[in-house]
Amino acid sequence: MPIYEYICLKCGYLRELIIVPGLAYDKNIVCPNCGERMKKKVSPFAYKADRTAERERNIMKLATDYLKDGKVKDAARFLNMAKEYVKTDTIKRASDALNTKLSESQQKG
């Protein structure tokens, strides 16, 4: 059974409760301090995917900024470091593609 956090919007009291899914009583949780109805608090785990996507967007924007400034080696170095910390397919593919392009240009020149 999931554990939910509830917060009282009047006094700020926070409590954790085990709620049986599908039962309606989780909408009528009352604060033991002031008697007001409590609101279910959103868990930080719900935002993990959103934060990863946001980090990915920021990384790709910075890499693009490097490339716009003509700093291809800096973009490659940045993406190589980023793919170790933010493990998404987009960052890995961008890093691999940029490294391939750099090695090809070094072989030609």
Q: What is the pLDDT of residues 24-35, one digit of tens each?
A: 566 788 899 899
76 with 106: CB under 8 angstroms?
no
pLDDT of res. 53: 82
pLDDT recorded at residue 54: 81
**Residue 46, token pair as written in the block:** 């719900």
- 40 burial level (CB within 10 Å; 0-12, 13-18, 19+): middle
Helix (H, G, I), strand (E, B) or coil at 40: strand
List, for residues 40-95, the tens digit of each pLDDT value: 876 665 555 567 888 888 889 999 999 999 999 999 999 998 998 888 999 999 99
